[in-house]
Structure 1
Amino acid sequence: MYENDRAAEMYDLLYEDKKDYRSEAGQVARLIRAHRPDAAALLDVACGTGIHLQAFAELFAHVEGVDLAEPMLAMAARRLPGVPLHAGDMRSFRPERSFDAAVCMFSSIAYMRSAADLDRAVATLAAAVVPGGVVLVEPWWFPETFLDGYVAGHALTRDGRTITRVSHSTREGGMTRMELHYVLADARGVEHRSEVDMLTLFTREQYEEAFSRAGVKAEYVESEGKGPGFFVGVRG
């Protein structure tokens, strides 16, 4: 997934056009400051190409990002010169400093394959914040809210390029199988790439238990938009 700069670029252009990252970051900042009004430092785990992180940088005095995919981090570095970015796995990354808040956005947590992996990821977030710090996770859909057979698409034309993305999502046991196809057309020709992402349909109870085991009492909050909501908690 996002194995090269070209794939990361297609992802970046499409989602920047499709999602209201600034609005989402604003809701997240409000949720954080409802628990920690003076929050000034934020860590974005699975920051991708840094679009959410760019919006967070306008709302917090200090931000840093972590991601496993080097091409995504390279794009984030171009977008956010001077912002500390780190290559790391959300199950094991340990920052050099502590933060007032640690977040994991855009359902990236669902790439964890098991409840044990979920526990490790939430523990990583909790370990990154100071006592009284806020941990916020945007989950994937729950088993009962996932729409089997869901189809989505988006197209963008800009600067002599057209990019399209279509997806088809089905349930396979406790997982979502999301098949995605991207087509890019520009002066060089037409390029097609595809991928299959597997996202775990963790239950609400599994998320809550992972937070509890990490020493964080979490509550589930509905999203202001169409997203799956947020788990928000404070480290004891």
Structure 2
Amino acid sequence: MFTKSAEFYDAIYSWKDYAKEAQLLLEFIARHRKSTGNRLLDVACGTGAHIAFLKDAFSIEGLDLDDNMLAIARSKHPELVFHHGDMIDFDLPDKFDVVVCLFSAIGYVRKPALLNKAIANMARHLVPGGVLIVEPWLTPEKVEGGKRPPVHSMFVDRPGLKIARLNETLITNGIFRSNFHYLIGQGQRIYYRRERHELGLFTHEQYLDAFRNAGLEVHHDEQGLMGRGLYVGVRAS
């Protein structure tokens, strides 16, 4: 995943309005949660960017598979607990009122069977009346007929740090395979890094089925936090 770029992740995604997204997330939680506690688990928490705007409202823990991302999250929020784990099979001793998996991280499970496992695993960490909120990746319908998408670019222009990230993508067998190419100028050095990202393209019905199979009452919002939609599953009280 972001093994070669974790140190630059916050700079690359500085365009995201985490404060606005967190506020919208709080509204979804208030609308659907039936439990009365305030424990929240952020699965695939990355560098903890959303956590900064949620930790005043919740007692938060984070979980991620990438040690480099966790190191950054821990440095930002040293007072919080962070776990190393995979969303498919992590096993924590506690239950939570809210479990979230944001910014399309769910796509990294790649296969429908693993989507079901991940949703079920997150759901079993909910207390009765708790909510699971998942921000999906692209559906197959949103990708034009399996054609190779155009090259996408992102840029960072800060004093002492310049980054050009270009990604080329190929879609095969329901997998969105993208090579990220980073040209980085830092201080007096210019260097290159490359990452490969693979995400599953799951249909709307596959998301709904995964939530229902996990025993959750599922709701879908087309807009969500940033236009990618949002699935909200409620565990029975």
TM-score, reference length from structure 1: 0.92
Distance 1:151 1:30, change over 3 A: farther
Residues 110, 201 of structure 2: 8 Å contact kept: no
Structure 2 counterpart SS, 1:156: strand
1:164 aligned to 2:152? no
Aligned to 1:181: 181
Match for residue 137 of structure 1 among 119, 134, 138: 134
Residue 173 of structure 1 and its aligned partner are, at CA, apart by: 2.2
Residues 224, 230 of structure 2: 8 Å contact kept: no
Aligned to 1:213: 213
Structure 1 counterpart SS, 2:50: helix
1:42 aligned to 2:30? no
Residue 225 of structure 1 and its aligned partner are, at CA, apart by: 5.8
Q: Distance in 2 between matches of 1:224 and 1:56?
A: 17
Residue 150 of structure 1 and its aligned partner are, at CA, apart by: 4.0
Distance 1:205 1:49, change over 3 A: same
Residue 88 of structure 1 and its aligned partner are, at CA, apart by: 0.5
Residue 20 of structure 1 and its aligned partner are, at CA, apart by: 1.0
Residue 158 of structure 1 and its aligned partner are, at CA, apart by: 2.1
Structure 1 counterpart SS, 2:80: coil
Q: Distance in 2 between matches of 1:207 and 1:122?
A: 9
Cα distance per residue 1:44-96 (max 9 Å; x no partner): 000011111222213x2301100001001000001111111000010111222
Match for residue 113 of structure 1 among 92, 110, 113: 110
Residue 201 of structure 1 and its aligned partner are, at CA, apart by: 0.4
Query: Which segment drifts farther, 117-126 or 29-38?
Result: 29-38
Residue 101 of structure 1 and its aligned partner are, at CA, apart by: 0.5
Residue 198 of structure 1 and its aligned partner are, at CA, apart by: 1.1
1:9 aligned to 2:4? no
Structure 2 counterpart SS, 1:228: coil
Query: Which segment drifts farther, 49-58 or 207-216?
Result: 49-58
User: Unpaired segments of 5 or more residues in structure 2?
Assistant: none
Q: Which amino acid aligns with 2:215?
A: G
Q: Distance in 2 between matches of 1:168 and 1:225?
A: 26
Cα distance per residue 1:133-185 (max 9 Å; x no partner): 00110111110012541443221222311122222333212111122111210
User: Unpaired segments of 5 or more residues in structure 1?
Assistant: none
Residues 152, 168 of structure 2: 8 Å contact kept: yes
Cα distance per residue 1:168-225 (max 9 Å; x no partner): 3332121111221112102241121112211100111111111111111212102256
Structure 1 counterpart SS, 2:54: helix
Query: Which segment drifts farther, 70-79 or 192-201?
Result: 192-201
Count of aligned pairs: 232
